[in-house]
Amino acid sequence: MKISLIQPSRNNLKYLKWSYDSIRKNQGDHEVEICVADDFSDKDETWRWCQEKMNYDPHFKAIRNEGPTRLGHTILYDTLVNEVATNDICMIYHADMYLCPGAFDAIEKHLKEKTIISLTRIEPPLHPDGPEKILRDFGIEPEEFKEEELLNEVQELKVLHENDPGTTEGIFAPWAFWKKDFQEIGGHDAIFAPQSKEDTDIFNRFHLNGIKFIQTWEGFVYHMTCRGSRFADGAERNPNGEVFMKNRETDEWLKQNQKSTREFIRKWGHYCLHDKYMKPIVPPKYNVGIRVENCRLQLLEALEPWCDRIYVDNDRMKYITMEQPKTSFDLNKRVQDDIYVEDRHHDDIYIEIDGNTFSNESFRHIQYLSEILANDEQIEPGTFGLGDIKVTVYNLQTYEKELIVCES
């Protein structure tokens, strides 16, 4: 198999070296092209190391964002796939992952057109457990990595799964795909740059486009987790041997995660949803307008992402001025004075709210409106109440399939 690994990296040289060595050691007979994007690393020698590698490794390619700010992996994933990778098969692969022997054999066994194959992650107990991964502590930094113990564990896991189907249905990095399937839907959506929620967005779109997700339990990586912008200071171990991240999530990551979450809701009309194996759950996308009487600025800020248009009786320009720099959506089209509410011919679902009586329960109804409409077979055009909000249904047409192809 010929495969291109896609690895953006920023100030992550220690992990990038560790990852590179594991790939070259355990790639087997496969021809593996490693494609790295140095995203304006300014605290280590990532670019110098990349240049050295390109001098003697013919299957190592690297590009650099010269700054003055980072682009983020949302952009650089696509740059590497579309402009650098030379193979038809690519794999999104984080810089803090150790490739275990036999991983590419497992991918080759299952990868067909219209499928995406995820390897199974073995991780130290830094995050909550889940049925889609294995929590084992083989080290939290490359300096203390217990490679031999990990490889023994991998052999035992392969024996454990040799008589069962060996797969579940879900997706999480690292994931291997056909480049043409990626390009067919336009890759990642740039509204989520530099990072956060870009993965859930593209997984939703793959799912709606008929892609099958396979997680193999015959191929593994050891993943140290979140060693980029989220927990930039890494992890540590206390005297009792328990592991945890050194510091809280960075301000940079928290701010961007909040921005991307609001963008995701504006686009899809719901939170990120998946089952226990990380298979996407994509509720219908409806065309929703909300009219708010007695609308305070705080209420407008909470409600605006949850609809396509909102009609208000306060100073909408104050909110637009504050929020427009944080979104790619045109808020002048989304936030309108309520004097234009009679022109709401664009709204298939029309919701009326009184800000003086709006409750947390009512807000939950707004947040889960798409599931409420989709799951109640008795709902038809007409008007009904949800708590203290009034809902008028004109049309139950859904629009989620219009989101499959990303034009940005």
How does the average pLDDT of the chain come out, rounded?
A: 94
**Is 90 exceeded by the pLDDT of residue 343?**
no
Whether the pLDDT of residue 239 is over 90: the answer is: no
Question: Phi first, then psi: what are they for 130, rounded to 5°?
Answer: -165, 160
14 φ, ψ (degrees, to nearest 5): -55, -45
pLDDT at 408: 64
Question: Domain ends where: 268, 296, 329?
Answer: 268
Tokens 């427009």 correspond to 324
Residues 244 and 293 in one domain: no
Report if residue 281 sits inside a domain: no
pLDDT given at position 153: 95
Query: Are 243 and 375 found together in one domain?
Result: no
Asked if residue 379 is part of any domain, the answer here is yes
Judge if 184 and 47 occupy the same domain: yes
Residues 242 and 292 in one domain: no
Flag the least confident range among 203-212, 272-281, 341-350. 341-350
Structural domain includes residue 27: yes
pTM, two decimal places: 0.95
389 versus 229: the higher-pLDDT residue is 389
Structure confidence by residue, pLDDT tens digits, 34-72: 999 999 999 999 999 999 999 999 999 999 999 999 999
Give yes or no: residues 254 and 395 share one domain.
Answer: no
Residues 232 and 300 in one domain: no
CATH number of the domain that 196 lies in? 3.90.550.10
Structural domain includes residue 373: yes
293 and 255 in one domain?
A: no
pLDDT at position 342 is: 65
Structural domain includes residue 283: no
| Claim to verify: residue 84 and residue 13 sit in the same structural domain | yes
- Least confident interval from 152-156, 247-251, 358-362, 383-387: 247-251
CA 359-364-366 angle, 5° bins: 95
- Which of 239, 268, 297 corresponds to the end of one domain? 268
Q: How confident is the model at residue 344 (pLDDT cuts 50, 70, 90)?
A: low
Structural domain span for residue 147 = 2-268
> Is 79 inside a domain boundary?
yes
Q: Is residue 408 part of a domain?
A: no
Total domains in the chain come to 2
CB 390 within 8 A of CB 352: yes
| pLDDT attached to residue 249 | 77
| The last residue of a domain, from among 200, 233, 268 | 268
Q: Which residue has the higher pLDDT, 127 or 404?
A: 404
Could you tell me if 384 and 240 lie in one domain? Answer: no
Q: Residues 90-115: pLDDT tens digits?
A: 999 999 999 999 999 999 999 999 99
60 burial level (CB within 10 Å; 0-12, 13-18, 19+): buried
Does one domain contain both 166 and 34?
A: yes
Residue 223 has pLDDT above 80, yes or no: yes
Beta bridge partners of 236: 244
Residue with tokens 């803090």: 96
Kindly state whether residues 383 and 234 are assigned to the same domain: no
- Averaged pLDDT, 186-194: 97
**Is the pLDDT reported for residue 164 higher than 80?**
no
Q: For residue 273, is it within any domain? A: no
Average pLDDT (204-231) is: 91
Pair (295, 264) in one structural domain: no
What is the C-alpha R_g of the chain? 23
pLDDT in tens, 355-365: 999 999 999 99
